[in-house]
Structures are given as structure tokens and as C-alpha cells.
């Protein structure tokens, strides 16, 4: 997860893509290096190098998704400010957290990663060819799955 994003960033520069794509690839590189450092040492300091860049990179991905259909070379400063503020708050809370269990990190990371997954669905984009499936079929499958899981959980063993 370190070398391929570097090639992606180089190719983005060659193709003249916007800086947000280069930032996405470089963020993936930083996440890869942080993961590598943490899993080599298993130290708390290296865990910070692993987990905090994951939040920052997810914020970059959220920015990229919301900027998909914008005018070229324009910047959404309101969204950028919100995501930077979120990242700073998460970093501050995470560093001040007394227990090193990471519950705060997991809540914050899953919030941002769910935003990435939720807003990446085709029904969010009105022109997606599979919009019908996401609007009609998936909610039905989800409801049936929830009922099945509820029945499994409440069934006495």
C-alpha cells in the first residue's frame, strides 16, 4: 500500500488531474507507511502514525466525492474547512484520551468511512445506471436481512 499509490500520484500529475486526486494517492501512501511502522513495532506512537492518517485520508476521500461534479479548478472552502476542523478535533481528542484503547478513534473513523460508503452509492448520483436496483431492490434485501438477523438473535438456544 506504499508503492502503488505513489505511481497513482505520478500518473495523476502526468495526466494533469486536479490536486485532490494527487492528495488522495499521497494520503494512501502515508496510511501505508504508518501501517507498516505500526505493525513492525507495535508501539503506541506508531499506532498514531497508522490510525490518524486513516482519518485524514477518509476526509480527503469525502472531499473528493462531494467535488465530483463541480467546475474544474474551483475549491469548496466550506467543505474543506469543515473536514479540516473535524480532523483537528479528532486528533486533539484522540491525543488527550486517557485510555489507549482507541474507542474514540473507532467511532470517528467509522463515522467518516460510513460517509464515504453512503455517499458513494449510485442512488446518490441521479444519473447512475443501477439507480433502480439501489432504490428498490437493496432496501428490500436489507429489510429481510434485518428481520432474519433479529430472529437469529432473539431465538433461544
Report pLDDT digits (tens) over 52-81. 999 999 999 989 888 887 777 788 899 899
- Rounded mean pLDDT, 92-117: 75
Q: Which domain holds residue 71?
A: 3-120
Are residue 86 and residue 103 in the same domain, yes or no?
A: yes
Cα–Cα distances in angstroms (integers) from residue 119 to residues 59, 126, 140, 141, in the given order: 13, 12, 19, 19
If asked whether residues 111 and 133 sit together in one domain, one would say: no
Q: What is the rounded distance in angstroms from the CA atom of residue 40 to the CA atom of residue 125?
A: 41
pLDDT tens for residues 128-155?
555 555 555 656 666 666 566 656 655 5
- pLDDT value at residue 113: 75
Residues 137 and 108 in one domain: no
CA atoms within 13 A on the CB side of 110: 6
Q: Tell me the C-alpha distance between 3 and 10, whole Å.
A: 11
∠ CA 51-55-97, nearest 5°, is: 60
Contacts of 67 (CB under 8 A, 6+ apart): 20, 76, 79
Residues 72 and 144 in one domain: no
Residues 23 and 88 in one domain: yes
Other beta carbons within 10 angstroms of residue 16's beta carbon come to 6
The answer to whether 78 is annotated as binding is no
Question: Do 136 and 101 lie in a common domain?
Answer: no
Q: Are residues 29 and 60 in the same domain?
A: yes
CA separation for the pair 146, 31 (Å, rounded)? 34
User: Is 157 found in the same domain as 91?
Assistant: no
pLDDT the model gives residue 130? 55
Residues 80 and 102 in one domain: yes
Amino acid at each position: 500500500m506504499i508503492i502503488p499509490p505513489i505511481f497513482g500520484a505520478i500518473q495523476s500529475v502526468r495526466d494533469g488531474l486536479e490536486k485532490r486526486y494527487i492528495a488522495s494517492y499521497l494520503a494512501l501512501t502515508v496510511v501505508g507507511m504508518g501501517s507498516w511502522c505500526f505493525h513492525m513495532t507495535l508501539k503506541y506512537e506508531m499506532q498514531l502514525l497508522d490510525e490518524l492518517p486513516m482519518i485524514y485520508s477518509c476526509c480527503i476521500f469525502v472531499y473528493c466525492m462531494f467535488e465530483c461534479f463541480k467546475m474544474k479548478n474551483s475549491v469548496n472552502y466550506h467543505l474543506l474547512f469543515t473536514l479540516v476542523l473535524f480532523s483537528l478535533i479528532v486528533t486533539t481528542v484522540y491525543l488527550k484520551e486517557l485510555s489507549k484503547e482507541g474507542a474514540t478513534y473507532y467511532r470517528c473513523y467509522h463515522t467518516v468511512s460510513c460517509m464515504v460508503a453512503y455517499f458513494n452509492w449510485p442512488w446518490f448520483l441521479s444519473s447512475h445506471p443501477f439507480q433502480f436496483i439501489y432504490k428498490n431492490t437493496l432496501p428490500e434485501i436489507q429489510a429481510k436481512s434485518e428481520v432474519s438477523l433479529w430472529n437469529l438473535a432473539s431465538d433461544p438456544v
